[in-house]
Amino acid sequence: MSFLNYLINGLSLGSVYAIIALGYTMVYGIAKMLNFAHGDIIMVGSYLVYSSMTMAGLHPVLSILIAVIGCMVLGVVTERVAYRPLRGASSSLAVLITAIGVSYLLQNLSLLIFGADPKAFTSVITWKGITLFDGALQIRGTAIVTILVGLVVLFGLQAFIRHTKSGQAMLAVAQDKGAATLCGIDVNRTIAITFAIGSSLAAVAGVLFCSTYPTITPYIGAMPGIKAFVAAVFGGIGSIPGAMIGGLTLGVIEILSRTYISSQLSDAIVFAILIVVLLVRPTGLLGKRVMEKV
């Protein structure tokens, strides 16, 4: 029964990874860039909720809304200021290093504003959860809510991409930027929308993550960010269901290895998986092999 409990905790953590990985994979698929700062948007989202809820005493729903909108604006602004000027640069290193710079900037700005000491985050989910089998199985409310939110985000995103004009434009830009421009698609606008969606998802992930692990420091975003990238590669980068499957798998593996192998080495195990995936199947579970044109 305790195994089942760990499994559910794993799925809950995995849902958080999946939501982050969705943002990663969308940006990578459409803008063809690795947004290192994506993880730090999570951190910004958590601090926004913390300051509006715990410090300013606003209603939880209102503070989540503030965090989502704040991160959305942040994502679009960083794209406009730091990444867009480098589109079409002769070296792909340039935008990668800029993204690292943005990530570093966000971390150190929050370090200056909020200080290095961890802040206690009050969970926005007050529901205690359900107890099954006469108390043998206790499922925390946060876990249930996290998994449900993950599913809603997945299906919402799928529907958005399939059934809206902006979503179709995203698919077109992901396939061929030049041809999309010729069809009258505003590539810059489409990429900005991608960043907006990805960053607001990161804010949601931040709230869920901090509801489960309730301490915030300026560095909390980095690790989940990297693990979400591993999840995106695992599921096949650029694929939305792949990001979901990758995230869930990774969450379960992390919790189980933390429980049954070693708590100190669980991160190492997750990264070892990345290396194995790259060795065996570099395109990931659901990724497509793309022929390279000269």
Give the residue, chosen from 4, 56, 111, 159, that forms a contact with another protein under the rule CB under 8 A. Answer: 111
For the bound state, the minimum distance from the C-beta of residue 259 to another protein, rounded and expressed in Å, comes to 15
Task: Give the interface segment with another protein, choosing from 147-155, 164-172, 189-197, 270-278 (CB under 8 A).
Answer: 270-278
For the bound state, the minimum distance from the C-beta of residue 23 to another protein, rounded and expressed in Å, comes to 15
Quote the distance between the C-alpha of residue 47 and its chain's center. Answer: 16
φ and ψ at residue 58, rounded to 5 degrees: -80, 165
Residue the block writes with tokens 């919402």: 156
> What residues from 17 to 56 belong to the interface with another protein (CB under 8 A)?
34, 36
Task: Give the interface segment with another protein, choosing from 13-21, 92-100, 147-155, 205-213 (CB under 8 A).
Answer: 92-100
Give the residue, chosen from 77, 89, 116, 179, that forms a contact with another protein under the rule CB under 8 A. Answer: 89
What whole-number distance in Å separates Cα of residue 61 and Cα of residue 64?
Answer: 5
Give the residue, chosen from 50, 209, 229, 234, that forms a contact with another protein under the rule CB under 8 A. Answer: 229
Give the residue, chosen from 94, 120, 132, 148, that forms a contact with another protein under the rule CB under 8 A. Answer: 94
From residue 65, how far is each of 38, 106, 274 by CA, in Å?
Answer: 19, 20, 34
For the bound state, the minimum distance from the C-beta of residue 263 to another protein, rounded and expressed in Å, comes to 9
Q: Which is nearer to another protein, 168 or 181 (CB)?
A: 181
285 CB-side CA count, 13 A? 17
Give the residue, chosen from 117, 163, 264, 291, that forms a contact with another protein under the rule CB under 8 A. Answer: 264
For the bound state, the minimum distance from the C-beta of residue 36 to another protein, rounded and expressed in Å, comes to 8
Task: Give the interface segment with another protein, choosing from 61-69, 180-188, 197-205, 260-268 (CB under 8 A).
Answer: 260-268
For the bound state, the minimum distance from the C-beta of residue 262 to another protein, rounded and expressed in Å, comes to 6
Task: Give the interface segment with another protein, choosing from 9-17, 58-66, 201-209, 261-269 (CB under 8 A).
Answer: 261-269
For the bound state, the minimum distance from the C-beta of residue 145 to another protein, rounded and expressed in Å, comes to 29
Q: Please give the residue ranges that form the binding site for another protein (CB under 8 A).
A: 34, 36, 82, 85-98, 100-102, 104-105, 107-109, 111-112, 222, 226, 229-230, 233, 262, 264-265, 267-268, 271-272, 274-276, 278-279, 282, 292, 294
